[in-house]
């Protein structure tokens, strides 16, 4: 069992398959030119399988594939097939561009849910945010997932002055589609030009939704990061991820494996444990995992404070989001 010094049991592993991506979302990538990690420094498919198996033996019951963009890896179908054989709930977060290329393997894997990132419903704005022209393909692939009855969520990072005028349009998407739209508060990472005045809080978002819709809070699960709401007359629902204004660290059950095989016990932790080098050297990885979990801070990686307006990003020691695996 992966228990930290605060009694939290970690049974949810997020595995980043790569720090490469076919989009360039400005809030995720570092501002300066970024060189993607060379292929040989990334965990190979069999190494991902070995480490995932080890985590499952330690009590992990849920695995999410993420990145970078997990589906830019040529061997993503093989990795998905391997992980689908483990006794875990399998989930994925993707920008959705390559869903159509890999649909048979995605359907066969039996994903419990797939989260697609989509921050705007306007093609020109999509191009501005992501610096690539894939809006139509992402929208078509969301429809493809729904046609195959795969539970689908949409992740929208809400940023003041960028896309906060589209909140109600996103809520409207849930009327005739069984989608969950997740509004995510904008978070600071290395090089992403975050400022606190760009954060639209969970309370702000909810107030904006309530101007037009009657919403009903849903009871949360023990480790839920999202505050979910149903909407009268809608097939789908909405949820808010309030990392900045109301963090949910007390119930945290998540750990992260970066694409280069480092274990991070929190999205905001500076500390990382190199599992891949030890695995490649034939070492015993298990004590390293337990030591990493025991060092987990009580909240926000021990780096951010709960009043996000006072965060000084110059003092944050972390990777950029694209290299962590969101």
One residue of 21, 76, 244, 300 binding ligand SF4 per CB under 6 A:
21
E strand spans, 122-232 = 152-158, 180-185, 215-217, 226-231
Distance CA 62, CA 89 (A): 5
Count how many residues are written for the chain.
326
Are 26 and 129 spatial neighbours (Cβ–Cβ below 8 Å)?
A: yes
76 makes contact with ligand SAM (CB under 6 A) = no
Q: Give the Å distances, CA to CA, from 121 to 3, 144, 163, 229.
A: 41, 17, 9, 21
| Chain residue whose CB lies nearest ligand SAM | 326
- Would the CA dihedral through 313, 316, 321, 326 be positive or negative? negative
Q: How many CB atoms lie within 10 A of CB 250?
A: 9
One residue of 27, 55, 134, 135 binding ligand SAM per CB under 6 A:
27
b/e sequence 144-157, b meaning 16+ C-beta within 10 Å: bbeeeebebbbbbb
Within residues 28-57, the interface with ligand SAM by CB under 6 A covers: 28
25 makes contact with ligand SF4 (CB under 6 A) = yes
Closest CB to ligand SF4 among residues 29, 266: 29
28 makes contact with ligand SF4 (CB under 6 A) = yes
User: Look-up: residue for tokens 């949910």?
Assistant: 248
187 makes contact with ligand SAM (CB under 6 A) = yes
18 makes contact with ligand SF4 (CB under 6 A) = no
Closest CB to ligand SAM among residues 158, 171: 158
One residue of 11, 20, 95, 245 binding ligand SAM per CB under 6 A:
95
155 interacts with, out of ligand SF4, ligand SAM, none, CB within 5 to 8 A per kind:
ligand SAM
69 makes contact with ligand SAM (CB under 6 A) = yes
68 makes contact with ligand SF4 (CB under 6 A) = yes
Q: For the window 307-326, what string marks contact with ligand SF4 as x by the rule CB under 6 A?
A: ---------------x----
Q: How many CB atoms lie within 10 A of CB 163?
A: 22
Half-sphere exposure of residue 244: CA atoms within 13 angstroms, side-chain side: 25
126 interacts with, out of ligand SF4, ligand SAM, none, CB within 5 to 8 A per kind:
none
318 interacts with, out of ligand SF4, ligand SAM, none, CB within 5 to 8 A per kind:
none
> What token pair was written down for 83?
């992980």
| Residues at the contact surface with ligand SAM, assessed by CB under 6 A | 21, 27-28, 66-67, 69, 93-95, 117, 155, 157, 184, 186-187, 189, 192, 321-322, 326
């Amino acid at each position: 069992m992966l228990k930290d010094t605060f009694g939290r049991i970690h049974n949810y592993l997020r595995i980043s398959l790569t720090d490469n991506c076919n989009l360039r979302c400005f809030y995720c990538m570092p501002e300066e030119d970024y060189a993607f990690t060379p292929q040989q420094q990334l965990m190979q498919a069999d190494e991902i399988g070995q480490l995932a198996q080890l985590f499952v033996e330690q009590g992990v019951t849920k695995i999410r594939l993420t990145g970078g963009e997990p589906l830019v890896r040529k061997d993503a179908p093989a990795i998905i097939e391997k992980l689908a054989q483990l006794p875990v709930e399998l989930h994925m977060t993707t920008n959705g561009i390559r869903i159509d290329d890999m649909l048979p393997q995605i359907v066969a894997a039996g994903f419990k849910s797939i989260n697609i990132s989509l921050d705007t419903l306007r093609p020109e704005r999509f191009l501005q945010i992501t610096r690539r022209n894939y809006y139509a393909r992402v929208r078509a692939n969301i429809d493809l997932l729904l046609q195959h009855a795969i539970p689908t969520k949409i992740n929208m990072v809400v940023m003041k002055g960028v896309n906060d005028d589209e909140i109600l349009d996103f809520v409207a998407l849930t009327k005739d589609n069984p989608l969950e739209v997740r509004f995510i508060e904008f978070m600071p990472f290395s090089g992403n030009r975050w400022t606190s005045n760009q954060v639209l809080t969970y309370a702000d978002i909810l107030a904006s939704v309530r101007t037009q819709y009657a919403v009903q809070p849903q009871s949360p699960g023990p480790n839920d990061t999202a505050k979910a709401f149903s909407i009268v007359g809608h097939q789908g629902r909405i949820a808010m991820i309030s990392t900045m204004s109301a963090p949910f660290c007390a119930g945290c059950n998540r750990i992260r494996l970066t694409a280069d095989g480092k274990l991070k016990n929190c999205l905001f932790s500076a500390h990382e444990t190199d599992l891949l080098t030890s695995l490649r050297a034939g070492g015993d990885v298990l004590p390293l995992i337990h030591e990493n979990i025991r060092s987990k801070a009580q909240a926000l990686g021990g780096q951010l404070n709960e009043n996000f307006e006072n965060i000084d990003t110059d003092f944050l020691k972390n990777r950029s989001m694209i290299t962590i695996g969101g």
